[in-house]
Amino acid sequence: MASQILPLELIDRCIGSKIWVIMKSEREFTGTLLGFDDYVNIVLEDVTEYEITAQGVKKTKLAQTLLNGSNIAMLVPGSEGPDAK
């Protein structure tokens, strides 16, 4: 039998936890996952945006934010993001 859990079920279990969002472009976000929908549009709280450029990483703090799912490449559940090791 194939997988017993759907990909988005895993993400659903992360609601309320930290999540690391990696976009298709050189851009990443971390924050607390508040919710998402079938398009993987994502609502985050206490957000940090990371813009990765040749000059380095630019960080921006944001309040509650809706990320457009069409630009999202990957999600890392439970991760504090690129700074955490």
Partner 1 sequence: MDESPRPPSDQSPPPPPPGAQSHTGSPTDFLKGIVGKRVIVRLTSGVDYRGVLSCLDGFMNIALEQTEEHVNGVVTNRYGDAFIRGNNVLYISAAEPL
The footprint of partner 1 (CB under 8 A) covers 15, 23, 25, 27, 34-39, 41-43, 47, 51, 62-68, 70-71
Name the residue nearer to partner 1 (CB basis): 37 or 83. 37
Cβ closest to partner 1, residue 5 vs residue 63: 63
Nearer to partner 1, 1 or 63 (CB): 63
Q: Return the exposure string of 14-28: e unless at least 16 CB atoms fall within 10 Å of the residue's CB, then b.
A: beeebbbbbbeeebb
- Cα–Cα distance between 83 and 79 in angstroms, integer? 10
